[in-house]
Chain A
């Protein structure tokens, strides 16, 4: 309770400097990067539970063979919507929220470069998700042709009902939102950085977001173009994906994955940035190989543009295409390996402590590496014919998204919430949340490798009885994982409302001030920061590159 009074007293001191507006209007019209960051993060958290609820429906139906709870079309709607909601509603916006909060703090900027557009990109996201969610209540239900929206399946009435144009326009709005957000981040990093901070002084989180923002601007219009052609093929008699008219449905797959592969790195590169920020603080060492981390990030981003057809090895490509995309894909393991070794080397002989953010980070390094290895297995084109469209791929990308992107988003929450709110979270419940999540995520996804290798196809509501045991185990893991996330929700609310009541220092974590500018600001961070850019910037994180 005393912490709350402290916070109010603190705010009262700052009122001469444009405090926040009162009431609901503050959140609708805000241009403050911290407010917008909060909006993004809370919206993403909400969507995480919406998408999670859909996953629970999927796991409940798959608990036993046979059709128990939902009809097959609705089941397919759930797999489609779960993916779209998690990718475009939860993971991407959560990272944009972190970018909004952290980038100005980390580079000594007063705010984002284009604050009004920043507001608009958030509301465009909400508009896009509303259009998408509205399809759940339509005649014919939500889209159920898979999140990739492949033609000709997705153009057939049985698959879309009335949902298709809403889903397509939702993609347009989400694309506009992402592009505006990305432009803002690039302009902020290039133009708003404290003069004392050179490009190679920037924290890795800022670097990874700079590169991610470039990826976003380069590929979101590609997705927009692809779905626009779906729209005209469906409603305006064009033949882009119709062989009788000289078109080719495989073209859609090429265009989609030219967007789709960079898109998966859009979700993982900021994850790397968060890991590279957290691990050095708890290892009490500078990040190992700062410059190589920057170059590895750039290399991964570059490679993401030239490997897309490994998502479609079985489509009937010429042999030369299979071979090229196989070898190009394998090369990605090199810069990714550089990163994994750098994180490991950062921890080597470090004076490590294991607070919740660090636990999540270590789990990330281990489990993401496993997800990476299954990726390598599937990059081998002849083997991929066995894995394609089975639960093996489901296990693979969930390992790279859940214990990687989602875990590092959780870690970022534990790491920065004390800084943002001025309150410490409950470490005991945090660690409980970690162990429950880390164990159950493996119960959930590890058996799916076996299911996939044994030939269980993805996107089906029913399956042959030989898959029953592992599916039941996977579902039990899923239910534990889903329930455990309620602990995170509790911790976030509790921390905002005062947490343990312990007043956190400006550094929050021991010696964090050496690692980043944000820790030199007061806790909680005032509504306006860096109206004058800092003259000295910490270089601990880049020590070995100088």
Chain B
């Protein structure tokens, strides 16, 4: 229950600048690594550690403030706006790669197989999909089938959406046991998904000849599924924090923004996967 009637405005923030320094160090290290510098990875890891410390510190601070009733209803609305628009920006980010897939399959690959491009540059190239292009970049490969692990993963993520909602019902009904069980199931399904995806990637690289370098098919396949897999990991970590906080007695039926944000994020990741399953695997 919020006890504060005024909008809480913090007066001194140290975590933002620490987090920024961490992220900048990490990216500078990564850039150095890409340029072939041997100290790159070390700088990158230092930056990552600073960034993780910031995440832990900042979120602990927020959780404590929330539990001590410093946030009124309006603060909660601001946080919801924040999360909603953050997810919107993520949707746009994924839309770029879906758009790339669409453009490649419907425009650029067909253009390579017709007209002057075909006659003058690559007479033997026929428009197909999947393809690694007229240059057969990355060598022969076998495309990924939708049925098998990807379909199983679809079922897993859909189920995890259900368990997440079941946990929310538990929270609203003040049934903490159901809340924690539902969340643990969701996290477990999330990590199961990532494990299966890792197996899928392993097969692709070792048995199917399908890599990130397999022309535009490999590029779009791994970019889309890879970014999605990364988001599943992030979502599962967020949900794990929510499990931890639930076990400490945090969240009340009328005040549980962190749970809601985590659940929104999880459903967003879920919906992106459905798009991937249809457009990357199925069609």
Q: Which residues in A have some Cβ–Cβ distance to B below 8 Å?
A: 18, 21, 28-32, 110-111, 113-117, 119-120, 123-124, 126-127, 130-131, 134, 162, 165-166, 168-169, 172-173, 176, 179, 182-184, 186-187, 190-192, 217-222, 224-226, 229, 231-232, 235-240, 242-248, 250-251, 254-255, 531
Contact = CB atoms under 8 A, between A and B. Distances in A.
A467 to B, nearest CB: 35
Given A186-B81, A254-B103, A173 B27 contact: yes
Given A192-B7, A244-B134, 8 more contacts: A110-B7, A126-B20, A166-B28, A217-B89, A221-B92, A239-B218, A243-B133, A246-B131
B28 A243 contact: no
Given A165-B34, A232-B219, A251 B97 contact: no
Question: Most A CB atoms within 10 A — which of B15, B20, B97, B103?
Answer: B20
21 contacts: A31-B10, A114-B82, A116-B10, A116-B13, A117-B16, A120-B20, A134-B28, A165-B34, A166-B28, A191-B81, A217-B85, A217-B89, A217-B92, A225-B96, A225-B97, A238-B219, A240-B104, A242-B135, A247-B104, A250-B108, A255-B96
B82 A187 contact: yes
A239 B216 contact: yes
A251 B112 CA distance: 13
Interface in B44-91: 58, 74, 77-79, 81-82, 85-86, 88-90
Nearest to A235: B34
Given A187-B78, A191-B77, A237-B212, A242 B85 contact: no
A251 B103 contact: yes
B5 to A, nearest CB: 12
Interface string B1-40: 0000011011111111101110110011011001100000
Contact of A119 (B17, B31, B132, B218): B17
Contact of A247 (B28, B108, B212): B108
B17 A123 contact: yes
B186 to A, nearest CB: 26
Contacts of A245: 132-133, 135, 137-138, 215-216, 219
A103 to B, nearest CB: 14
B13 A183 contact: no
Contacts of A190: 81
A180 to B, nearest CB: 9
B103 A119 contact: no
Given A115-B10, A131-B24, A247-B104, A169 B31 contact: yes
Nearest to A169: B27
Contact residues on B (Cβ < 8 Å of other chain), bracket: 35 or more
A168 B15 CA distance: 25
B249 interface: no
Nearest to B92: A221
A242 B27 contact: no
A236 B133 contact: no
Question: Most A CB atoms within 10 A — which of B9, B89, B218?
Answer: B89
B13 A31 contact: yes
Chain B interface SS verdict (over half): helix
B108 A218 contact: no
A240 B100 contact: yes
Interface in B183-242: 211-213, 215-220, 222-223
A248 B103 contact: yes
A116 B219 contact: no
B78 A114 contact: yes
B96 A246 contact: no
Given A31-B9, A245-B132, A131 B27 contact: yes
B109 interface: yes
Contact of B81 (A130, A183, A225): A183
Contacts of B35: 162, 165
B20 A246 contact: no
Question: Most B CB atoms within 10 A — which of A162, A220, A229, A248?
Answer: A248
Contacts of A218: 88-89, 92
Nearest to B130: A246
Question: Most A CB atoms within 10 A — which of B9, B15, B223?
Answer: B9
* A-B pairs, 4 with minimum CB distance: A244-B135, A225-B96, A246-B133, A120-B16
B99 interface: yes
A531 B9 CA distance: 10
B151 interface: no
Contacts of B109: 246
Contacts of A32: 11
B96 A226 contact: yes
A188 to B, nearest CB: 8
B19 A222 contact: no
Question: Most B CB atoms within 10 A — which of A31, A127, A168, A172?
Answer: A127
Contacts of A238: 212-213, 218-219, 222-223
